[in-house]
A = this chain, B = another copy of it.
């Protein structure tokens, strides 16, 4: 009987994160301040602890994972690597398909991998409270859980429309002791100003970020916490790919292609960067970021300096962007609705070292259902993007007879996304071609730099 799961003992949890900067052909582009000049680490000390700022700018290849973080990881790590025998059989492909199951974390996705170290470093720095924003709630759940583990108060500004529509993610955060506010809220000046003008404002991720940053910047005991995009977040996520490499060794195999969903980039960077290290050393491995056709940042965007948020509060980052005021259609993979992308992922893509593909919404749900019927686990809509691209490649292998080894990251389960599956089954989901004109219009508003 062929092996299905490749497990690691908890003593095999990696001792170091991998920093892709050490293997990039060119140094990362720096973030710029309002004056167009590179900003230094000191500009971030009001909202981040120094340990994370150091990781943000580090060029060291290996960064040690603190023991209390590794100990907290033991609650759910190492995550299993699965060989998808049943999916392979259902597709009739000669390709071998593997997936890393990040849905095993208590919050249900890979986001916990960075929430735990962020909570730890903030606690170590004497911080008492973390503030953050959340849209669909995956990040908010993860930081609520991590804050609880290290005795930090966690205040989560949740976009009002999600707060009302996704009560169960909210309940999850509350179960872990998180305080959840519908944003705009009365907790901040930003929120109060907006509500004074428009008491029925339904909120946006931009507003929620502003509220969270205002709290962090205005209180010495409070820091801000971000769940994707930044270098230190991608660094923390490399634990996924590092474990996977050990597990492929046990399986006596190695991937020809690695697929991961790509929104802000932490999921893709987390699984793909450790394989990039091998690629930089000459190994033949293709790394594929999978994004929605409705928000095609890498495949249809421009590589330019842009704001990280909609409102233009953040430093400028050089990245693939659809323009910071691009509003993607309301697809169900909330985690992939981001106008930009991680600067590290963007730079590697710009230099032709990684690939990107965009897939339409209906095809991703079709792939997710196919996966669930073969392998059991019901995937998150974000994960369905990687599954779609992987299945497409497996079907090409069926045509060509190639026995490729394919690998994707199952970033989370879909237990809190069943309403999206419902709409899919009811025929109420649509495909969106990317709105060419909308992209042109928002790209015309890119900030002028240099």
Task: Of the listed stretches A2-10, A197-205, A238-246, A389-397, name the one at the interface; the rest are far from the partner chain.
Answer: A2-10
Q: Could you tell me the distance between the alpha carbons of A84 and B373 in the complex, rounded to whole angstroms?
A: 33
Chain B nearest Cβ from A237, distance in angstroms: 18
Whole-angstrom distance between the Cβ of A152 and the nearest chain B Cβ: 13
Give the number of times this chain occurs in the complex, counting copies. Answer: 2
- Other-chain residue from B177, B416, B422 in contact with A415 (beta carbon distance below 8 A): B416
A22 CA to B10 CA in the complex, in Å?
38
Query: Which chain B residues lie closer than 8 Å to A376 at the CB level?
Result: 75-76, 105-107, 145, 149
Residues of chain B within 8 A of A25, CB atoms compared: none
A419, B169: Cα distance in complex, Å? 10
Residue of B nearest to A376 (CB): B106
Within 8 A of B (CB), among A364-379: 369, 372-373, 375-378
Establish whether residues A74 and B5, one from each chain, have CB atoms under 8 Å apart when the complex forms.
yes
Q: Name the CB-closest residue of B to A171.
A: B418
How far does the Cβ of A153 sit from chain B's closest Cβ, in whole Å? Answer: 13
A429 close to chain B: CB less than 8 A? no
Q: In the complex, A415 Cα to B376 Cα: how many Å? A: 16
Q: Is A277 an interface residue (CB 8 A)?
A: no
- By a CB distance below 8 angstroms, the chain B residues around A177 are 373
**Pairwise interchain contact B7-A378, C-beta atoms closer than 8 A:** no
Q: Are B176 and A373 in contact (CB under 8 A)?
A: yes
Query: Is A174 at the interface (CB under 8 A from chain B)?
Result: yes
Which of A1, A168, A171 is most buried by chain B, counting CB atoms within 10 A of its CB? A171
Q: Is the interface of A mostly helix, strand, loop or mixed?
A: helix
CA distance A108 to B422 in the complex (A): 19
A375 and B75: CB pair below 8 A? yes
A148-B373 CB under 8 A given contacts A1-B67, A171-B422, A175-B421: yes
Interface status of A172 (Cβ within 8 A of chain B): yes
Q: Are B4 and A75 in contact (CB under 8 A)?
A: yes
Cα–Cα, bound, A7→B4 (Å)? 15
- The answer to whether A3 touches B7, judged by C-beta atoms less than 8 angstroms apart, is no
- Restricting to A41-98, which residues have a CB under 8 Å from any CB of B? 67, 70-71, 74-76, 86
A67 to chain B, nearest CB (A): 7
B106/A104 in contact, CB under 8 A = no
Cβ of A425 < 8 Å from any Cβ of B?
Answer: yes
Flag whether A40 is at the interface (Cβ < 8 A): no
**A378 vs B168: C-alpha distance when bound (angstroms):** 12
Residues on B with beta carbons closer than 8 Å to the beta carbon of A422:
167-168, 171
A175–B4 CB distance below 8 A: no
Contact A418 B75 (CB under 8 A): no
B7 and A9 within 8 A (CB): yes
A residues at B contact (CB < 8 Å): 1, 3-5, 7, 9-10, 67, 70-71, 74-76, 86, 104-108, 145, 148-149, 167-168, 171-172, 174-177, 369, 372-373, 375-378, 415-416, 418-419, 421-422, 425
